[in-house]
Amino acid sequence: MSLQAGIVGLPNVGKSTLFNAVSINAKAQASNYRFCTIEPNVGLVDVPDERLSKLASLVNPNRTVPTQLEIVDIAGLVKGASKGEGLGNKFLGNIREVDAIIHVIRCFEDENVLREEGAINPVGDKEIIDTELQLKDLESVEKKMQRVEKMARVGSDAKAKAEYDILTRCKEHLEKGKSIFSLGLDKEEKNAVADLFLLTDKPVLYVANVDEGSMHTGNKYSEMLKNAVQSEGAEVIIMCNNIEAQIAEMESEEDRLMFMEEYKMTEPALNRLIRTAYALLNLDTYFTAGVQEVRAWTIHKGWKAPQAASVIHTDFEKGFIKAEVIAYEDFVKFGSEAACRDNGKLRIEGKEYIVKDGDIMHFRFNV
């Protein structure tokens, strides 16, 4: 299951630096000029999960495999992007393809880092990006309204009328400077605009890229950003992208631990960012645990057992018979699958079972 979180923001806010720190299989050029990134860089990110490490310590498998996310480094947007400024249409198209947005905002002062927008202003920077995405969505909505309106006028096309009403609500919401995500469309209403792949209908996580001295406490700029997004219910991750990039570049675990100890860090801030992005995508994790492999698997919240089995192999879903399930807490408490079985903690679940985050599962199937 391939899901992507796209890193966006104005030029020179630290997007590519963040991408390089977080990605395990790709690197992006990070330079002090506009549009250093043209084509989007795509990288894989291991999702940190203490439960996976704990299971591995109990099972002692031949290998341990974390679940992963795809992170996309998208070129910096500028004011006027919705009208094509700065290759805006191309970059907005890249955003359209991702499932969630990681919005990086500059919250540090450094005269050596180019900034064309004037004084540091995280709220203003956020509004520039928001406005460009909203304007592009408004253009998409209005174009579809023109097509649907003709059918709705006929009078007998109830579906067209319903679609037109939803599009009208979207248009009015965007004209107020609000994102579609905050409109709270239900599943059926979302289907009416699904073909538009609206940019502002994606969940957003904000990264306040601060200076080294503010990485633990934040600063006045990160506080301004927090206050600005409070009404959205969005989370703000405070981090120093340069420090995170240095940690990521270290090959030795010992060196990383010493470096983090020096900066009074218990873990890289990237770990929290990745976990938050994972939750933002409405994802859960289940595990398979055996001598050959302990592995984490990604599913959407609410998936039933056959759907969960399909991420291992489609045949598992087609020929699903049953699932053997152990709760993570029980596995840790008793220490093994055999002990869980002996203590009545291994359950047999059928096709209607909704998989819970942390379940340890073994599927029975026949094709």
Residue 13 is labelled as binding a ligand: yes
Q: Within 13 Å of residue 264, how many CA atoms lie on the same side as its CB?
A: 6
What gap in Å lies between CA 308 and CA 349, rounded to an integer? 13
Query: What is the amino acid identity at position 201?
Result: D
279-to-19, 303, 306 alpha-carbon distances in Å: 19, 15, 22
CB 244 within 8 A of CB 142: no
Measured between alpha carbons, how far apart are the two ends of the chain, in Å?
Answer: 22
What gap in Å lies between CA 6 and CA 67, rounded to an integer? 18
What gap in Å lies between CA 28 and CA 8, rounded to an integer? 14
Report the 10 Å Cβ neighbour count for 143.
Answer: 12
Tokens found for residue 193: 């605009």
Q: Which long-range contacts (CB under 8 A, 24 or more apart) does 59-63 make?
A: 59/289, 59/290, 59/291, 59/294, 59/336, 60/291, 61/289, 61/290, 61/291, 61/292, 61/293, 61/294, 62/291, 62/292, 62/293, 63/292, 63/293, 63/294
Beta partners for residue 364, in sequence order? 322
What gap in Å lies between CA 133 and CA 168, rounded to an integer? 18
What gap in Å lies between CA 154 and CA 94, rounded to an integer? 37
Report the 10 Å Cβ neighbour count for 211.
Answer: 15
Residue 16 is labelled as binding a ligand: yes
Report the 10 Å Cβ neighbour count for 334.
Answer: 18
| Chain centroid offset of residue 27 CA | 19
DSSP secondary structure, 121-140, as one string: -HHHHHHHHHHHHHHHHHHH
Binding positions for ATP are 12-17
Binding positions are 12-17
